[in-house]
Amino acid sequence: MSSPTESVDYNEESIRSLDWREHIRMRPGMYIGKLGDGASHDDGIYVLLKEVLDNAIDEFVMGFGKTIEVNIQDHKVSVRDFGRGIPLGSVVECVSKINTGAKYDSKVFKKSVGLNGVGSKAVNALSSWFQIQSIRDGKTKIAEFHKGLLIKEVEEPCDLRSGTLVSFIPDEEIFGNYHFLNEHVERQLWNYAFLNNGLTILFNGQRLQAKNGLADLLEVNMETEPLYPIIYLKNADFECAFTHDASHYGEEYYTFVNGQHTIQGGTHQQTFREAYVKTIRDFFKKDYDTSDIRTGLIAAISIKIQEPVFESQTKTRLGSTLMEPEGQSISKYIHDFLKKHLDNYLHINPSTAEAIQRKIIQNEKERKEMAGIKKLARERAKKVSLHNKKLRDCRIHYNSNDPRKLESTLFITEGDSASGSITKSRDVNTQAVFSLKGKPLNSYGLSKKIVYENEEFNLLQSALDIEDGLENLRYNQIVIATDADVDGMHIRLLLLTFFLQFFPDLVKAGHLFILQTPLFRVRNKQHTFYCYNEEEKEEALAKTGKNAEITRFKGLGEISPEEFRHFIGPQMRLDPVILRKDQSINEILAYYMGKNTPQRQSFIIDNLRYEADAIFVD
């Protein structure tokens, strides 16, 4: 390491000028957020898919083409629209010349999400193979690229329907050993379908189509029956659907700008929350508490804005304050919309108004009953966290302005040895550690009161800062890191129960993961391999020879900090906790965590497998 007194040459040779593809490949996070391996819904490979889809959706929005075909086989992605097709003379430039595109002309793409002329270029530069085909006016042009470099260009007559076909393979040099999860892709595609009535998306032959816009989105994503029929209001530029969920403790929002899923909200979400409270107070002529009005609210919001301003290229949070340049403020627009349309709806539907008022009164009663418990719990959480240091925090959080916030991670682990290994191995900038003391309580069927009365749950909730919903969530990834033995699996199940019981929106939003750690270490004098299953162990033995040393890891505490760095670094393997559309949280918890049933006993017997020193349930 150089000392402060050592001089470093700084001259003309120190200055470099990167071309567009070099810059994207050197700094991919500036363009697509975090990289990841496909386990998380916001990993880079899904951003690549989104950038291509946005262009196809913009064609539909402008009135050209009602169907989009999406095919993903292994690592290859193809997206075909039936719009106008890119002008053939500009095909190459549109995907390889930075800040080139039609979306600078607001007359052509009035309310598009892709305004910077960057998206398709990022996909091109970050793909080991990229091909674009435009079909237009009886001709087609095909351009093929390798890591952003043009390798082939063909123009010829063609009798296919007009439109654009983009195919690409994300580069393993950038994304590592990645994989597309159908659950994440389907969720992404369904959001496009919900937001665009009349659009049909074919995903690997499966038809995705919605008839009732955001009302369909809520119906699909709600765990229980709504307290009252979903309220669905819309005009040309704003659409919202909302109701109350009886079993929901916080608020849950699905927000969009020009079709872009703004998972971190922004101006439109905050304004809706404020406007909803004001409209309800004005309607009932009562100054109800804000939390009493919104607790249990689940809403979907979509707004269309000319030239929206986002916090980053990944467009996860809206920063705009105006509907269009020098136009009406978003705040006034949404307040006026709800004041008119929601007020009218409640007057026309008095039974819904009564249901909302009953929910507010119930929330008020529960809030007052919990006030004393919450106060004591906060004081205890502050005292315990200060003295026992259960939380080893990191420097960068999900609700910060740091560009690395998508990498913020909390590992929840058990015992001093495991938490010690992770703490010594972690990246102190983005990775925090929360240490459990023994097995958590089985929270199935218990009320939220237990979250404040139980020390472990109270401290965990405090560490995550999710008492009032996900708005202040401090970590993008919450990772359960327990031993790969029976006790570890039990603790994992108890933690999953806690999150599903009290914070299902955290799971639905794709923030919860299981850490994979290796079961075996296979090594000889030349090589060391870490193996996550029997198949990988056999492959390692084939490379090292039968006389290699084999270690079976039984607990995280057995893995040294030096080794642990391999497992929580860039190549960290995470299994996302995903709820499928056909799964009910209540049914899942009742089956696995309720009283013993013949069905569960049969499941355990049928799925037992034995090893020399342990019994596992697959």
pLDDT one-digit tens code per residue, 19-69: 788 888 988 888 888 888 899 888 999 999 999 998 999 899 888 999 999
Show which of 529, 552, 575 is a domain's final residue. 552
Show which of 191, 208, 225 is a domain's final residue. 208
State pTM to two decimals: 0.81
* Candidate from 228-242, 331-345, 562-576, 598-612 with smallest mean pLDDT: 598-612
Q: In terms of domains, do 343 and 454 share one? A: no
Q: In terms of domains, do 99 and 25 share one? A: yes
Per-residue pLDDT at 118 exceeds 80: no
User: Cβ contacts of residue 385 below 8 Å, gap of 6+?
Assistant: 391, 459, 462, 463
Containing domain of residue 160, as a range?
Answer: 20-208
pLDDT tens by residue, 470-499: 888 999 999 999 887 788 888 999 999 999
Residue 553 identity: F
* Residue 8 belongs to a domain: no
The three-point CA angle 44-50-55 to 5° equals 140
Q: In terms of domains, do 69 and 126 share one? A: yes
Q: In terms of domains, do 110 and 130 share one? A: yes
Query: How far, in whole angstroms, is CA 486 from its chain's centroid?
Result: 30
* Residue 378 belongs to a domain: no
Q: Which one is predicted more confidently, 544 or 313?
A: 544
Average pLDDT of span 63-86:
95
Residue 305 is predicted with a pLDDT of: 85
- 337: its two tokens: 């919309």
The CATH number covering residue 131 comes to 3.30.565.10
* Residue 239 belongs to a domain: yes
Residue 246 is predicted with a pLDDT of: 77
Q: Find where tokens 């109701």 sit.
A: 243
The CATH number covering residue 344 comes to 3.30.230.10
Q: In terms of domains, do 51 and 68 share one? A: yes
- 163: its two tokens: 């439109």
* Residue 276 belongs to a domain: yes
- 104: its two tokens: 């600078």
Residue 12 is predicted with a pLDDT of: 60
Q: In terms of domains, do 324 and 432 share one? A: no
The CATH number covering residue 602 comes to 3.40.50.670
Q: In terms of domains, do 319 and 432 share one? A: no
pLDDT tens by residue, 504-540: 889 988 999 999 888 889 999 888 998 888 899 999 9
Q: Which one is predicted more confidently, 403 or 113?
A: 403
* Residue 122 belongs to a domain: yes
From the list 174, 192, 63, the residue with the least C-alpha distance to 124 is 174
Residue 495 is predicted with a pLDDT of: 95
Q: In terms of domains, do 351 and 257 share one? A: yes
Average pLDDT of span 244-250:
79
Q: In terms of domains, do 344 and 354 share one? A: yes
Residue 285 is predicted with a pLDDT of: 96
Range ranked top by mean pLDDT from 148-162, 249-263, 294-308: 148-162
Q: Which one is predicted more confidently, 369 or 464?
A: 464
From the list 360, 356, 369, 357, the residue with the least C-alpha distance to 290 is 360
* Residue 263 belongs to a domain: yes
Q: In terms of domains, do 33 and 174 share one? A: yes
Show which of 528, 552, 576 is a domain's final residue. 552
Report the SS3 class of residue 8. Answer: coil
Per-residue pLDDT at 358 exceeds 70: yes
Q: Find where tokens 């709600």 sit.
A: 222
* Residue 305 belongs to a domain: yes
Q: In terms of domains, do 166 and 24 share one? A: yes
**Domain total for the chain?**
4
Average pLDDT of span 429-457:
89
Q: In terms of domains, do 41 and 161 share one? A: yes
* Residue 14 belongs to a domain: no
